[in-house]
Chains A and B, each alone.
Chain A
Amino acid sequence: MSFLTYLISGLSLGSIYAIIALGYTMVYGIAKMLNFAHGDFIMVGCYIIFSVTASLGGNPLLGILVAVVLCTILGITTEFVAYRPLRGAASPLAVLITAIGVSYFLENVALLIFGADIKSFSSVISWEGLSFAGGQLRIQGVTIVTILISVLVLVVLQLFIKKTKQGQAMLAVAEDKGAATLMGIDVNKTIMLTFAIGSALAAIAGALLCSAYPSLSPYTGAMPGIKAFVAAVLGGIGSIPGAMIGGLVLGIVEILSKTYISSQLSDAIVFGILVIVLLVKPTGILGKKIQEKV
């Protein structure tokens, strides 16, 4: 029974990684850049929820809504101010370095406003959860809600991408930016939309993360951000189902190795798995081999 409990909590952590990884992978797939500030969008989302609920005494749901809206605006603004001017720069490194700069900028702004001390975060999910088999298997409300929300996010996102013209435009830009523009697709608008969606997802991930692990500092987003990046690469960067699978695998491995092997070694094991998977299949689990044009 306890194994099942750990498995489910791994699934829950993995769901959060998956939602973050979706943002990474969409931005990479469509804008062909790694937004290393993505993890810090999560932290910003958390602080917004914290401010609305703890400081202003607002409803948690209102807090999440405000966080989603503000993070979306933050994502669009970051793309417009920091990344767009560098599109078409001679080296893709320029935008990568800028993303790292944006990451430090956000962390330090948070440090300035909220200070370095860790804020305790009261969970936005107050449900106790379910108990099975006469109390032997207990699943927390946070865990269930997290898993359900990530499933919902994946379904809505897939429907959006497969069934709407905006989603199809994203796929077209991801595959061939030049041909897409010549068919009348506005690449800037499409990339902006991608950032908006990725950042909104980061805010949702922030709410779930801080509900499951209720402590908040300016560096809250950094480690989950990196792990989600690993998840995206593991699943095959650019692939949406890949990000989901990568996230889940990572979450389960992390919790199980924390439980059965060593909590100090769990991160080493997680990254070790990445190395092994990439050695065997460099494109990730669902990644496709890109054929070079001849």
Chain B
Amino acid sequence: MTLLDVNKLSISFGGLRAVDDFNLQIEKGELYGLIGPNGAGKTTVFNLLTGVYKPNEGIIKLDGEDITRKNTVQINQAGIARTFQNIRLFKQMSVIDNVKVGLSERFKYSTLEGVLHVGKYRKVEKEMNEEAMKLLKVFDLDGEKDTLASNLPYGKQRKLEIARAMATNPKLLLLDEPAAGMNPNETKELMDTISLVRKEFGMTILLIEHDMKLVSGICEKLTVLNFGRVLCQGETKEVLANPEVIKAYLG
């Protein structure tokens, strides 16, 4: 079953067509890679999918629902969560509080109950803490729940960002260059984390990556983007063997 269905997506900035006639179909449970040279428009695609930019043309459907014109909050609620190329955690907040921000749309109590610490406040906060701890345990961050996010080592900040995204209970997880700036050991650990997310949550994942070892190691399908257009699409092995792809990457 198709989870994400993108048709003829285009956006221009000034005279530049940053993404042009972009199509993408992702099946439920798939791990899909979006690759391409620098400036090909990969992050722009993510920004279109999450509503940061509005496309000039095209339709984005998630699980059959048209989300093209929705704003970022509505798209998050519809089921898309993401991480960022340059980690954007809430650095002055603790590890558990970062995850709780991700949870907060699903757990409700009124502001007045919060101010006075009465009513549903205690019960809901307890549930939120339990849910957050469950997530942190999956990502092996439960030992550092009270650490400030900015004090975590780099690899763990990446993990926490994925955990925070998972806290919004998405159907589709977008990872923007998760291995950027990582050493081979950290990359290996990241690959394990991604497999874990798939195993634990059956998550569908779309990731942007430059690290070819990671891409060929875990992605089932690939789309190659070049100058805002799709160069090649299909099974990972076939795509990576495509002479045009090799040319685009090696010049």
Contact = CB atoms under 8 A, between A and B. Distances in A.
Nearest to B99: A183
A160 B109 CA distance: 13
Nearest to A169: B104
Nearest to B174: A182
A293 B117 CA distance: 37
A183 B76 contact: yes
A263 interface: no
Contacts of A293: 86
A180 B81 CA distance: 11
A182 B82 contact: yes
A181 interface: yes
Chain A facing B: main interface SS: helix
B247 interface: no
Contacts of A176: 88, 90
B104 A182 contact: no
A166 interface: yes
Contact of B76 (A169, A171, A182): A182
Contacts, number: 82
B114 interface: yes
Interface in A157-206: 159-160, 163-169, 171-172, 175-176, 178-186, 193
Interface residues of B, number: 37
Contacts of B77: 184
Nearest to A165: B104
A156 interface: yes
B114 A160 contact: yes
A17 B51 CA distance: 42
Interface string B98-121: 001111110101010011010001
Interface in B46-91: 50, 52, 71-73, 76-77, 81-82, 84, 86, 88-91
A179 B93 contact: no
A186 B101 CA distance: 11
B92 interface: yes
Nearest to A180: B101
Given A160-B114, A178-B88, 17 more contacts: A165-B125, A166-B114, A167-B114, A168-B101, A168-B104, A175-B90, A175-B92, A182-B52, A183-B76, A183-B167, A184-B73, A184-B77, A184-B102, A184-B105, A185-B73, A185-B105, A186-B73
Interface of B: 50, 52, 71-73, 76-77, 81-82, 84, 86, 88-93, 97, 100-105, 107, 109, 111, 114-115, 117, 121, 125, 128, 164-165, 167-168
